[in-house]
Amino acid sequence: MTTNIHPTAVVDPTAELDEGVVVGPYAVIGSRVKIAAGTCLDAGAQLRGPCEIGPGNHIYSGACIGFEPQDLKFKGEDTYLVIGARNRIREYSTISRGTSFGGGTTVIGDDNLLMAYSHVGHDCQVGSRTVFTNNATLAGHVVVDDDVTIGAFSSVHQFCRIGRHAYIGGYSVITRDALPFVKTVGIRPACYGINRIGLERKGFTPERLKALEAAYRVLVRSKLSTPSALERLRKMTEGSKDVAYLAEFVASSERGLIKDPPGSEGSRGGDVG
């Protein structure tokens, strides 16, 4: 299996392409880019380094990967982008390299789908098996755990975290940490229960779902303060790794949590403890 580079593509002589890489018409690969076997760049896709792309990725037309971070503090220092395996990065998506003050590296895991016009900002850490629907946008320094779905035209504020298996509804504005396993929706977002359908599709048993629903009621529906709810959650973690992860996520939040039920003061813009 040989590398297939279209004659109109521009490939910097310092770029490293493994066997089986396909580079389409008018694609551009800059200096210090490494691409592993089986990755395909469609027509007009652009990659800049330092950047490392794993095996089996498909980068579609017009995507701009590894460009300089969109940050006024960036002064041209060496920063990086690392992308794992089997990701599908659709038309005109953008992924920025890191910044020196943010850890230096933007990371994308494996088996993710970034739909057209989605954006991953500098220093973001994205897990595996996530779905970014069209125009989903991450500001800098965002952490997205595994198996998350971010709806169309949704934006996530810098330094926020999105917990594992979270579902962010379309047109949402996330300015605090979004709970794992939970549907979070809205311009002034609220929690709409656990992501039952998504979790069932991922193979969650009825017992796991029951434990998460009980934890959700404590955290969101009980009207307890976050410290009081966390204390009760910790008593519910025995035998449930999911609840233990949820409790750890709550305890480690630095920006605060979105845990407002629909129609509450928090979901209308008020502060929540």
Domains of the chain with CATH codes: 4-141 (2.160.10.10)
The pLDDT score that the predictor gives to residue 267 is: 58
Edge-first strand order for the sheet with 257-258 is: 16-17, 33-35, 51-53, 80-83, 105-108, 125-126, 143-144, 161-162, 177-178, 257-258
Distance from C-alpha of 175 to C-alpha of 193, rounded to nearest angstrom: 19
For position 239, what pLDDT does the model report? 86
pLDDT the model gives residue 266 = 59
Strand 190-194 vs strand 182-185: parallel, antiparallel, or unpaired? antiparallel
Residue 71, pLDDT score = 92
Residue 52 identity (one-letter amino acid): E
Q: Is 141 a catalytic residue?
A: no
* Active-site position among 122, 147, 186, 266: 122
Phi-psi region of 13 (alpha: psi -120 to 50; beta: other; left: phi over 0): alpha
The active-site residue out of 140, 169, 198, 266 is 140
For the chain, which residues score pLDDT lower than 50?
269-273
Q: What is the pTM of this model?
A: 0.93
CA gap 188, 175 in Å, rounded? 9
140 belongs to the catalytic site: yes
102 is catalytic: no
pLDDT at 265: 59
List the catalytic residue out of 110, 123, 242, 260.
123
What is residue 36's predicted lDDT score, i.e. its pLDDT? 97
